[in-house]
Chain A
């Protein structure tokens, strides 16, 4: 797979290196310093930073505006876009807006249902679904066309990705669904947080058997637990999450003051095991409101220093 866009993330993975991304959740307010402080913690340790789009349906500063802050700091953003809040007019418009700031990475998602957020009475849009958004972005980039058929002056140059959850049900269609996303145009995949490594390895094996790992860059998602409470919460309360009992037990059996360290240990061990797995092309490290741990995780996982590409 050779790079087709100016995306640094794409170039790094296309050159055969493991890519590393992390994320920066925009603030519940308009103070740009909180964005800059978070992003600064990540500088140099990751190739690109995902900016979430009103995650869990809670209103925050827009993903696009936050991406622009990162871009102006010289940090490469991955613009996350959900289909929940915008119709095809707004989605195409925001892709152009991002392209006008030379934002080179796009992650297409459907978004958590609004009932989880602070505006459960709101409408959801879902004019397109995430797969159709991937297709739309690729159409805009590769054909230089809007959905309406007109030509785009200076089409977006974006490395287009999608999410995959190997742990959601029904498991039997998780790989066919990945195949569909790739067919729609997903050039990279960031997965749901991985705690059940056996299941993830089975998913990757099936993807490999279908030749999918040669068609897209699969970035394994990991999230360090801050505490045993967080492990239990993720297991029981977060949709689509698969946290095996032994992982929860490992956290719970650790003295409280050592739990954060143990959470990081589990995360590093996960990365080290998955680094060796054929088909994994990178890691998406989601340290939720714990960005200061990223340098340590990246270094201890042997992913530092980050490669330089032209």
Chain B
């Protein structure tokens, strides 16, 4: 899933402080799972904003809405009829949803209420960790199913570097060394032979380096 984290409320207040009618817009997908932008968080943020404006002696309308997804036309259209009523939208979907909302409601300011962090997993409640950087050219078959691009601080394809110590990364003892994980995993699937081959220079043109990316699937287009 796409993992996001809440923005400091002071930052959000700074964006919306001059508006009188605001919609806080959540998303039922990834950001709900990572407890940053679902219905519950919409409620909390909207209440916080209302309290702020009340303390300022201002009468500001802060409404709440949570869509099934903010990354699909279909669901974003659900606020078509009401969007004009608001001076601003605070979207607490991921950066994808925030942008798609802004694209769709062109004349309404849309502010981010979260920081979009990475593609990751829920390791335990309250702990989400990165697994993928969407480089567009997956190498997991060669690395025992563990990704050095997203999990090595230097994205070394022929690791580990000299800083790997007792299973930890040199930048933080709390972080696993990706290459220690890869080697452990290759051992458990009896494929340590894969380690012996130098991984060739990677084509990063499918990564962000190649510019904004598209997936075009004519076979499923209507």
Contact = CB atoms under 8 A, between A and B. Distances in A.
Interface of A: 83-84, 88, 110-113, 115-116, 124, 126-132, 135-136, 147, 163-165, 168-170, 172-173, 176-177, 179-180, 183-184, 192, 239-240
Contacts of B183: 170, 172-173
A131 B195 contact: no
A173 B201 contact: no
Given A126-B154, A239-B162, A169 B177 contact: yes
Size bracket, chain B contacts: 20 to 34
Interface in B163-191: 163-167, 170-171, 177, 180, 183
A38 B199 CA distance: 39
Nearest to A133: B201
B155 A126 contact: yes
A240 B170 contact: yes
Contacts of B201: 88, 128, 132, 135-136, 147
Contacts of B157: 129, 132
14 contacts: A110-B161, A113-B153, A115-B171, A130-B158, A131-B158, A135-B198, A164-B162, A177-B158, A183-B198, A239-B162, A239-B165, A240-B161, A240-B162, A240-B163
B102 interface: no
Contacts of A184: 158, 198
B135 to A, nearest CB: 12
A146 to B, nearest CB: 12
A240 B165 contact: yes
Interface string B114-150: 0000000000000000000000000000000000000
Contact of B164 (A116, A126, A163, A240): A240
Interface string B195-210: 1111111001000000
Contacts of A240: 161-165, 170
A113 B164 contact: no
Contacts of A192: 162
A169 B198 contact: no
Contact of B156 (A110, A173, A183): A110
A126 B161 contact: no
A165 B162 contact: yes
Contacts of B204: 127
Contacts of B161: 110, 130, 168, 240
